A and B are shown apart, each in its own frame.
Chain A
Amino acid sequence: ETGVTQTPRHLVMGMTNKKSLKCEQHLGHNAMYWYKQSAKKPLELMFVYSLEERVENNSVPSRFSPECPNSSHLFLHLHTLQPEDSALYLCASSQEPSYNEQFFGPGTRLTVL
């Protein structure tokens, strides 16, 4: 595997389900990110982890719970989601300092019924 991988690529879940999105980066980076991409809206930064510590949490509802067990893996745990949470969830990684670009995974297309 190379770059940034995300699994699953597609996920359909009911509002009462619990699921997790997984992201893995194979680039040796030290920062990882979760973004939400909805139609007609800019990418929304949800969470940032730097050196495995959460450094950003942009007022994301508690039904989204991130986890970063090590510098290569990032999870987004989902529970009791709403239909408006349906979107493409993108994971990215970068190597500090900040002038290094972010590398994105292919995303997980989430549909909440």
Chain B
Amino acid sequence: AQSVTQPDIHITVSEGASLELRCNYSYGATPYLFWYVQSPGQGLQLLLKYFSGDTLVQGIKGFEAEFKRSQSSFNLRKPSVHWSDAAEYFCAVGARQTGANNLFFGTGTRLTVIP
């Protein structure tokens, strides 16, 4: 069965510092991988996705993620965090079932940005 682990429940970084959010997945085949961000009171917005090809994926808002098959990881990175990046971040793995796409989400990492 598919599963996603985000080991960090809460991370605090200073504005301008670099950021890495960890994500490990479990899936028997080549996964589809996603990072979403959720601001308070809002739905989830897609930051980036990986399906195949280049293992370093660029997303919106200056985020990038690297797929490492040997480590079953898909960590999210940003070189310089802005105060507006404070939000909850969710990693998800996609699995093709009969019918539509199913996503399995991690429990999320809450990011706090301090001045």
Among the interface residues A96, A101, A105, which one has the most CB atoms of the partner chain B within 10 A?
A101
Determine if B107 and A49 form an interchain contact, defined as CB atoms under 8 angstroms apart. Answer: no
Cβ-Cβ contact count across A and B, 8 Å cutoff: 73
- List residues 75-113 of chain A with CB under 8 A from any CB of chain B: 90, 92, 94, 96-107
Residue of B nearest to A106 (CB): B43
The count of chain A contact residues (Cβ–Cβ below 8 Å) is 30
Determine if B42 and A55 form an interchain contact, defined as CB atoms under 8 angstroms apart. Answer: no
Q: How far is the CB of B51 from chain A (nearest CB, A)?
A: 5
Chain B interface extent, by class: 20 to 34
- A27 close to chain B: CB less than 8 A: no
Residue of B nearest to A4 (CB): B43
Determine if A106 and B100 form an interchain contact, defined as CB atoms under 8 angstroms apart. Answer: no
CA distance A102 to B90 in the complex (A): 13
0 or 1 for each of A1-40: is its CB under 8 Å from B? (1 = yes): 0001010000000000000000000000001010000001
Interface residues of chain A, those whose CB is within 8 Å of chain B, are 4, 6, 31, 33, 40-43, 45, 48-50, 53, 55-56, 90, 92, 94, 96-107
What are 19 A-B residue pairs whose CB atoms fall within 8 Å in the complex? A6-B43, A31-B99, A42-B4, A43-B105, A45-B104, A48-B100, A50-B99, A50-B100, A55-B100, A96-B101, A97-B101, A98-B94, A101-B49, A102-B103, A103-B46, A104-B36, A104-B45, A105-B43, A107-B43
